[in-house]
Amino acid sequence: MTTVDFLLQGFATAFQWQNILFAFVGVLIGTAVGVLPGIGPMSGVALLIPVTATLTSGMPTEAAAASSIILLAGVYYGAMYGGSTTSILLNTPGESSSVVTTLDGYQMARQGRAGAALSIAAIGSFVAGIVSLIGLVLLAEPLSNVALKFGPAEYFSLMLLGLAAVSGLAGKSITKALIMTVMGLLLATIGIDAVSGIARFTYDLPILYSGLEFLTIAVGLFALGEVFKTIMERDKEDGAIAKIDRVLPTKQDLKDSSKPILRGSVLGFFIGVLPGAGATLASFFSYIAEKKFSKHPEKFGTGAIEGVAGPESANNAASGGAMIPLLTLGIPGSGTTAILMGALIMYNIQPGPLLFDDHPEVAWGLIASMFIGNLMLLVLNMPLVKVFAKIIQTPKKYLIPLIVAISFFGVYAVQYTTFDLYLLLACGVLGYLLSKNDFPLAPLVLALVLGPMIENNMRRALTISNGDFSIFVTKPLSLIFIIAAVAWLVIPLVLKLKGRKIVINEED
């Protein structure tokens, strides 16, 4: 049988009434999970595993597994879209991959363009979902072989490139961006060292042994930071709320977004294929790429629609790409796909090279259902754009308590500790002070996410090479990434110095 025949069989499975219902429930819950900061796709999928097991208890094993994984996958890619809603409207990232969306999405909302931002996020998510699924159907086997060539040294160098590329988010000063990157890496080292078991920077406080929660810091810096900014600088504002005239993007918005959506979809898919890279790295890389491609990079951070279209497409495409190593190799590329793998194993179905031969109903039924689920997401969310857009028109005296309540609820629901609530407040104050002094927040957040992964991959690479650091330059892919990282930092400095010399010569 050909790939097309298997896909048609998958659609036959996906179009069964119970599977259509499961796909709809999955994307609906996923959207809600993405909107609420703190829950995230990983928690949402984990919480629903016992529910799906109960719902499918009377079904044959193969059919029960297909229905369960269709619902759980719906939660996964539904949450990727839902995270953009509060990022755009309230400057509150629903989950880590939506942090980049706050940079331009929230500025668009403040300018009365929340409807356009939400619509482009929905359209970008849909296009990215379809692109990644076409890639999943056509390229699963060859791309899996490429991903297998990435060892610890290559991953270390790739993430180093990610940190170097964050200078693209630097705003006015690369130095300030690098300071924030180092601060993020330092915060990432807090806790018990996984290898030696030694406590680092915990000051004998047991609460710090598990490290700092990413969500707490991200929500504090972005959401509460914006709250403090609004309160402290209220005298400088006229108090008027920007009117939202239209909820759909203009022809110009669609024209400006079309290329970023396609670029973000392709980039996000390929990054999603790499185990461990994930949607957060994909969205950051997409934003940096769009800023480099733009003829007007100064617009980014002030409400550029390309800064919403690219990252939103990338993080949705990454969720499709992440299915490749899970289904074809049995290697989960993220925490959420690890939980999906656990759900499949619960039904005695082992993801890996034999999955498509032994359980085609499950594998192809899941892929086909993701086509249907992405269409459902578009149909479900486009009519709600107008409802969502009205949130930004809420008077600030009501909106600020709402943001604070969502932030505190989201953080406490995950951590259950008062320490994290204090940390949330401290990060809010810090976020306000940093942004007031032009220190970019995005590099700190990315460094905090990548820090543990960089350290683990570096240690694994050094273990393999018996402590020989040359492993990072003797591996061809690793060397390419390191050269790119160095170039990313050095070239802007050289151009800056060259520009200064030209100015001095002209003055002479």
Percent of the chain with pLDDT over 70: 85
* pLDDT reported for residue 261: 92
Domain boundaries, the chain: 3-233+241-498
Q: What pLDDT was estimated at residue 240?
A: 43
Q: What is the pLDDT of residue 389?
A: 63
User: Is the separation of the CB atoms in 357 and 333 below 8 Å?
Assistant: no
Q: 17 forms bridges with which residues in the sheet? A: none
83 contacts 380 by C-beta, under 8 angstroms: no
Task: Tell me the average pLDDT across 298-319.
Answer: 86
Tokens 């800056």 locate to 496
Percent of the chain clearing pLDDT 90 (strictly above)? 9
For residue 241, what pLDDT is reported? 44
Q: What is the pLDDT of residue 134?
A: 87
Render the burial of 248-262: b for 16+ CB within 10 Å, e for the rest.
Answer: ebeeebbebbeebbb
Closest to 79 (Cα-Cα) out of 269, 257, 319, 241: 319
Nearest alpha carbon to residue 78 among 281, 316, 267: 316
pLDDT at 85: 80
Q: Which residue has the higher pLDDT, 379 or 246?
A: 379
- Report helix angle 99-110 to 442-464, nearest 10: 170
Helical residues (DSSP H) of 37-113, grouped into ranges: 40-55, 61-90, 99-110
Q: What pLDDT sits at residue 235?
A: 46
Q: What is the pLDDT of residue 237?
A: 47
Of how many residues is the chain composed?
508
Residue carrying the six token digits 């578009």: 378
Banded model confidence at residue 334, pLDDT cuts 50, 70, 90? low
Q: What is the rounded distance in angstroms from the CA atom of residue 50 to the CA atom of residue 396?
A: 40
Task: Say whether pLDDT at 107 is over 50.
Answer: yes
C-alpha 228/C-alpha 453 separation (Å) is 32
Q: At 200, is the secondary structure helix, strand, or coil?
A: strand
The total of other beta-carbon atoms located within 10 Å of residue 316's CB is 36
| Rounded mean pLDDT, 389-403 | 71
With bands split at pLDDT 50, 70 and 90, how would you rate the model's confidence at 238? Answer: very low
Full-model pTM: 0.69
H-helix or E-strand spanning residue 199: strand 199-200
Most confident segment among 6-15, 116-125, 184-193, 339-348: 184-193
Please choose, from the candidates 251, 193, 230, 254, the residue with its C-alpha nearest in 3D space to the C-alpha of residue 400: 230
pLDDT tens digits along 492-501: 778 777 766 6
For 192, phi and psi rounded to 5 degrees? -80, 130
Lowest mean pLDDT among 45-49, 292-296, 362-366: 45-49
Average pLDDT over residues 232-248: 56
The residues, any chain, with a CB within 8 Å of residue 494's CB and separated by 6 or more, are none
pLDDT tens, residue by residue, 406-459:
788 877 876 788 998 999 999 999 999 998 888 888 788 778 877 888 888 899
User: What is the torsional sign of CA 254, 256, 258, 263?
Assistant: negative
Whole-angstrom Cα distance, residue 366 to residue 374? 12
- Across the chain, mean pLDDT equals 80
Confidence of residue 171 (pLDDT cuts 50, 70, 90): low
More confident residue, 305 or 393: 305
- Give 247 or 20, the one with higher predicted confidence: 20
Average the pLDDT over each of 184-188, 277-281, 294-298, 388-392 and give the range with the smallest value. 388-392
Q: Which of 71-80, 185-194, 230-239, 293-302 has the lowest mean pLDDT?
A: 230-239
Model confidence band, residue 242 (pLDDT cutoffs 50, 70, 90): very low
**Per-residue confidence (pLDDT) for residue 21, from 0 to 100:** 92
Q: Residue 75 has what pLDDT? A: 87
Q: From CA 374, how far away is CA 376, in angstroms rounded?
A: 5
